[in-house]
Amino acid sequence: AICYDFDHTLSPDDMQAYAFIPSVDFDKQTFWAESNAEAKRHHMDKNLAWMKKMLDEAIRRQKSIRRETFQAQGGAVELYPGLTTWFDAVNAYGLAHGVEVLHYVISSGLKEMIEGTAIARHFARIYASAFQYDESGVAVWPAQVVNYTNKTQFIFRISKGVFDENDERVNQSMPHEDRYVPYENMIYIGDSDTDIPSMKVVRDKGGFAIGVYDPQVQNRRRMCDLFLEKRVDFFAPADYTAEMPLYRIVCKAVDLAAARAALVEETRVLRGVVERCGE
């Protein structure tokens, strides 16, 4: 399983910046400054603050807040290089080595916008903040809020195969051999400090954390720090083109998953030998 943050990991900017913020006559700096100020003033979760501001500003300007409108705005979201072919390329590499690769988004952004992007069909599941909609399809309330700390629950859900957000079986103990995806076969790809809790969970349980940075900006300083602090195992430009460093790293992780599976099979064969020794 490869788990991706979205904003600044798969896209160069916050998803709201491409279509929504211009539609309500804001520049992105002002929108986020006002949203964050509101969160601080009311001791709010920052994600709840921007969700409220989205609804307030759209209603004030008589703009649509329907699900399909947000999904359509997702179609304007810019993606990093290589993403249109990344998923098929990684999946094909995995299958050639006997490994099924699954892709998941774990994002604080808006699920409906992600659903409207050109790459949405490649994700087995999209975990992100979302609105509740009334019978007419109009947003009325936050249905799900994903922040940097509660992102980690979705890593547990993916590993256990307990996918529904309200399924409390995620808290139950599960033997390693019964897991849908073993933790050591998981990769988390993110871009910033808000991904650190998820990166830590994956790393501590034997998987890999990969940090990415904007290849146009070439600002690697924070990734260098995270690497030295052992928060990430690897870092690379957010260029998803085949044969670029990120693709090469992920392919080597697939190789390792294949090797682990082969060794498990060797162990199974030897157990059969041991059982026959007692006959």
The answer on pLDDT for 17 being more than 90 is yes
Predicted local confidence at residue 218, as pLDDT: 67
The answer on pLDDT for 7 being more than 90 is yes
Mean pLDDT over all residues of the chain?
A: 95
Predicted local confidence at residue 243, as pLDDT: 87
What are 131-175's pLDDT values in tens digits? 999 999 999 999 999 999 999 999 999 999 999 999 999 999 999
Q: What is the mean pLDDT of residues 229-252?
A: 96
Phi/psi at 62 (5° precision): 55, 40
Q: What is the mean pLDDT of residues 217-228?
A: 86
Predicted local confidence at residue 122, as pLDDT: 98
Q: What is the mean pLDDT of residues 212-219?
A: 84
Confidence of residue 68 (pLDDT cuts 50, 70, 90): very high
Predicted local confidence at residue 220, as pLDDT: 83
The answer on pLDDT for 279 being more than 70 is no
The answer on pLDDT for 219 being more than 80 is no
DSSP state of 275: H
Which contacts (CB < 8 Å, 24+ apart) does range 162-167 have?
163/125, 165/127
Spacing of C-alpha 143 from chain mean position: 18
Question: What amino acid occupies position 271?
Answer: R
Q: Give the closest residue to 109 by CA, choosing from 199, 5, 213, 240.
A: 5
SS (H, E, C) 211-241: EEECCCCCCCHHHHHHHHCCCCCEEEECCCC
Predicted local confidence at residue 278, as pLDDT: 67
Spacing of C-alpha 198 from chain mean position: 10
What are 115-129's pLDDT values in tens digits? 999 999 999 999 999
